[in-house]
Amino acid sequence: MSEPEQTLPLDGWHRARGGRMVPFAGYQMPVQYEGIIAEHLWTRSSAGLFDVSHMGQLIVAGDGAEKGLEALLPADLMILKEARPKYSLLLNHEGGIIDDLMITRRGAHFYLVVNGATKAGDIAHLEATLPRGIVLDHMKEQALLALQGPKAVEALARLVPGVEALTFMTAGAFELAGAKAWISRSGYTGEDGFEISVPAASVEKVADLLAGQPEVKPIGLGARDSLRLEAGLPLYGHDLGHDTSPVEADLVFALSKRRRAEGGFFGWHRIARELAEGPIRKRVGLAVEGRQPVREGAMMVDAEGSEVGKVTSGGFSPSLGAPIAMAYVPLAYAVLGAKISLASRGRIFTGTVTALPFVPHRYHRKGAPQ
């Protein structure tokens, strides 16, 4: 039996705006307001406000935090500059992924944002493996919002002058609605946008202010999922897990150059072997023929009908008006244009291996015009 769901600080706020609440990661969360497709397209054309307060916000501090964390994840923290969030992975001894996360150096400590459904396990793992003397703080009193879309910068800069100077994957401390806010220019939709950490006590005021901007509408989990799928971004627990390696998951960019060469982190053995010899299988994007979505759990089958791969995320792309999916396929099929047979709901579908992202990223990178 599962635990009853907890409520997030914005629970009543979502309900008052017509959010349809569903259980997710142990919380009651809004899956949609007006409808997934409308919310999805709104985010792609204007700005969407997401409540991601279920995610875990952690502080790792103390002498040796840098070295201690480098044993658990493949990022080069030695050269990680202040206030530059970096995507990384908590790895197990077998090179599998315990969680994916963002890690930022903030003064003397590291700030980590981990997935909601995995945060308890992450904390236990960190406590069990980080050397003594390192302090781990789970900031339960912090809420987290994401403002995503091409007009996010316009809306947020109106409330937080100066925030427009941030570029993709940079962050800083600001003030928003009288509250201290840690804002990074990052997100999970493929669009330009921001992630905003504020005290839970202030989040309702902040959400009101943001949602009050003409560019902004609240967006539910349903569109969050379809947006990240179009952006080719993996979802932990679906596209990533304890038995998938970063090489299989096509996340080699998360293995920093020095770390790749030197090792010295959990799972290095397998990862080095896969980097040298190639993995057995690899995560790819698939364009699915026809209109019917092929969903998580569908099998990739060979000519004899045997399972040789698996769809880990799949659905209908509102931007493309067609079904798309992510799947793990044998390495020989992980080439653009390869045709894949998928068994789903008692029939066979054809997928074509397609470059990720399905919909181009529109991040505001350094050096790009404002």
Partner 1 sequence: MTVYYTREHEWVRVEGDSGTVGITDFAQGQLGDVVFVEVPEAGRAVTRGGEAAVVESVKAASDVYAPVSGTVTEGNQAVVDEPALVNTDPEGEGWFFRLTLSDNHELGDLMNAEQYKEYCEGL
Residue nearer to partner 1 on the CB measure, 32 or 245:
32
Residue nearer to partner 1 on the CB measure, 290 or 305:
290
Q: Would you put residue 335 in left (φ > 0), alpha (ψ -120 to 50) or beta? A: beta
The pair of structure tokens assigned to 345 is 């709901």
Compute the distance between CA of residue 129 and CA of residue 162 in angstroms, rounded to an integer.
39
Helices (H), the chain: 11-16, 36-45, 65-70, 119-129, 152-159, 203-211, 221-230, 257-262, 268-277
Q: How far is the CB of 233 from partner 1 (least distance, A)?
A: 17
Do 74 and 89 touch, CB atoms closer than 8 A? yes
Residue nearer to partner 1 on the CB measure, 292 or 332:
292
Q: How far is the CB of 310 from partner 1 (least distance, A)?
A: 17
Q: How far is the CB of 291 from partner 1 (least distance, A)?
A: 5
> Rule CB under 8 A: which residues touch partner 1?
31-32, 35-38, 222, 226, 291-293, 295, 315-316, 318, 345
DSSP codes of every residue in 251-301: -GGGS-HHHHHH--STTHHHHHHHHHH--SEEEEEEEESSSS---TTPEEE
Compute the distance between CA of residue 31 and CA of residue 18 in angstroms, rounded to an integer.
10
Q: How far is the CB of 7 from partner 1 (least distance, A)?
A: 22
Residue nearer to partner 1 on the CB measure, 37 or 136:
37
Compute the distance between CA of residue 362 and CA of residue 42 in angstroms, rounded to an integer.
15
Q: How far is the CB of 107 from partner 1 (least distance, A)?
A: 42
Residue nearer to partner 1 on the CB measure, 154 or 296:
296
Residue with tokens 């399905």: 358
Q: How far is the CB of 294 from partner 1 (least distance, A)?
A: 10
Count of positions (residues) in the chain: 370
Q: How far is the CB of 3 from partner 1 (least distance, A)?
A: 24
Residue with tokens 């293995």: 255
Residue closest to 323 by CA, chosen among 226, 231, 236: 226
Residue nearer to partner 1 on the CB measure, 9 or 318:
318
Residue nearer to partner 1 on the CB measure, 320 or 336:
320
Task: Report the C-alpha dihedral over residues 20, 22, 27, 31, rounded to 10 degrees.
Answer: -60
- Dihedral (CA of 202, 9, 168, 66) sign: positive
Q: How far is the CB of 345 from partner 1 (least distance, A)?
A: 7
Residue nearer to partner 1 on the CB measure, 336 or 348:
348
Do 68 and 134 touch, CB atoms closer than 8 A? yes
